[in-house]
Amino acid sequence: MVVLNKSIPVDKTKLNQCTFKLPQNYNFEIEKIVNTITLNKLKRIAFQFPDGLLRYALIIVDTIKFMCDVEECIILGDVVYGACCVDDTSAYKLNCDILVHFGHSCLVPMNLCKVRCLYVFVDIYIDIEHAIKMIKKIAEERIKLDKKIDVKCNVLKTSNNINYENIKPLDDYFTNENVNIEDKNKEIIHEDDENIKNKDIVLYEKINHQQYENEFSKMAIVGTIQFNAAINVISKKLNIFVPQVKPLSRGEVLGCTSPFLGNKKICIYISDGRFHLESVMIKNTAALFYKYCPFTKKMTREYYDHEKMLANRKKSINKFFSQCKHIGIIYGILGRQGSTKIYRNISDYLKQRDFFVYKITLKEINETILDSLSFCDAFVQISCPRLSIDWGHNYKKPLLNPFEVFNHLDTNTIYEMDYYSKEKSQLWNNY
């Protein structure tokens, strides 16, 4: 058992000398790592970093060597896509006492790991006030849009001379992901618009607190684990709903696991990139999505082509069940991607339907490898559900994920993103 609830004094001067080149807004929790190693007298340490943090690996490892009495520090070199790639097996084979995993939350239960594991989320401190300002801008635009719609309806009752053809909904001004709300936006209707002759119409009243509150009540806010602290601060300040799917933290999303937003009309996503955001978008087709990137300080409207994705996946699923007989079930061995529970469920399901099943273990899936397995007509991969969703249509043979085996994406099917959800045990998820 790793002792975590005690601490020893750490020489801050030495620590600062070692870590001054690390970004100051990133919390690598070096003191926690030093305390854990020292209190437990650990000698062989394995480290695991996602690609985005690898640039800091040598500084962190050198710091641990300097601050702790360790024999060896090992950086695991396999690619890390997510928390599912935690590689306790390799750390065990290397005779390490502990694995320090950076950048993700804990998905694999500790009692199932072969060595002690310490997770460092790497909280990233952001300009929260600026993020709040950007969220308020969205609220203001939605409020103005509602007002203009009301004005339009009222005026039409008294005049048929006003042309409203040029009046656009707000969304038309956010037609690509590069739109910067921080810049000066076009207004939906300008006060001096040549089509507006009735100067008694007040379009831009001062927005009051209650109007903001009403708009915030329609919102949800989510993001990656690095920004989870900021998300919860923003939520409290603006009273915005933070959804949760257990075992993830409130507001945390994964590329394969996301919460249901309920009746919320707008979702604010705090992070860079789109991979995790798309997970929420796939599950919640009715909401509008905005991404706030803390690094560029830009708020962008984001879109997802659900129809195209579903059409691609239905095509693969139909071919799988109508034309294929010999199925390779790919058990992912990149970290902890594979699941024996899911493998058994899929294997039993296919065998009951007279498919021939082959178990294949792979760290990486690519077309060259799959083409070489000529005895298989199609594949089911238990590695990453998004591999099938995002790139499955590029493969010559159908490549399904577990959800698609058990759900043929009929008209009313919701594409669940619950791969690591503990809220309800399903044939296709891990718990």
14-55 confidence digits (pLDDT tens)? 888 899 999 999 999 999 999 999 999 999 999 999 999 999
- The answer to whether 357 and 347 are in contact (CB under 8 A) is yes
The secondary structure element, H or E, covering residue 118 is strand 116-120
Predicted confidence at residue 10, as pLDDT, reads 80
Q: Do domains 128-302 and 306-406 have the same CATH topology?
A: yes
Structurally, what CATH architecture does the domain formed by 128-302 represent? 3-Layer(aba) Sandwich (3.40)
- The answer to whether 147 and 139 are in contact (CB under 8 A) is no
d(CA 261, CA 251): 11
- The answer to whether 65 and 73 are in contact (CB under 8 A) is yes
**Least confident window among 9-13, 114-118, 220-224:** 9-13
Q: Is-cis flag, bond preceding 247, omega within 30? A: yes
Predicted confidence at residue 204, as pLDDT, reads 41
CA 394 to chain centre: 23
Closest CA to 239 of 136, 146, 124: 136
d(CA 213, CA 208): 9
- The answer to whether 28 and 22 are in contact (CB under 8 A) is yes
- The answer to whether 92 and 213 are in contact (CB under 8 A) is no
Instruction: Give 124 or 214, the one with higher predicted confidence.
Output: 124
Cα Rg, the chain, nearest whole Å = 26
Q: What CATH code would you report for 306-406?
A: 3.40.50.11860
Q: Within a 13 Å sphere around the CA of 409, how many CA atoms are in the beta-carbon half?
A: 23
Mean pLDDT, all residues of the chain: 86
Q: How far is CA 341 from CA 335, 382, 430, 431, in A?
A: 16, 10, 7, 8
What are the residues whose beta carbons fall under 8 Å from the beta carbon of 10, sequence distance 6 or more?
31, 34, 35, 67
Predicted confidence at residue 206, as pLDDT, reads 62
Q: Domain spanning 12-124: which CATH class is it, in words?
A: alpha beta
Q: Using the predicted structure, report yes or no on whether residue 419 has a pLDDT greater than 80.
A: yes
Task: Report the SS3 class of residue 157.
Answer: coil
Angle between helical axes of 209-216 and 128-156 (0-180°, round to 10): 100
Q: Is-cis flag, bond preceding 50, omega within 30? A: no
**Least confident window among 187-201, 317-331, 338-352:** 187-201
- The answer to whether 312 and 409 are in contact (CB under 8 A) is no
Angle between helical axes of 57-67 and 30-39 (0-180°, round to 10): 40
Structure tokens at 273: 């990139």
pLDDT (tens digit per residue) in 134-145: 999 999 888 887
Predicted confidence at residue 184, as pLDDT, reads 35
Q: Per-domain residue ranges for the chain?
A: 12-124, 128-302, 306-406
Highest mean pLDDT among 179-183, 211-215, 312-316: 312-316
Q: Using the predicted structure, report yes or no on whether residue 172 has a pLDDT greater than 60.
A: no
Mean pLDDT across 225-230: 96
pLDDT (tens digit per residue) in 397-417: 999 999 999 998 876 778 999
d(CA 179, CA 175): 8
Q: Using the predicted structure, report yes or no on whether residue 327 has a pLDDT greater than 50.
A: yes
pLDDT (tens digit per residue) in 182-211: 433 333 323 334 443 444 334 445 667 788
Q: Using the predicted structure, report yes or no on whether residue 297 has a pLDDT greater than 70.
A: yes
d(CA 385, CA 323): 22
d(CA 254, CA 279): 7
* 338, amino acid identity: G
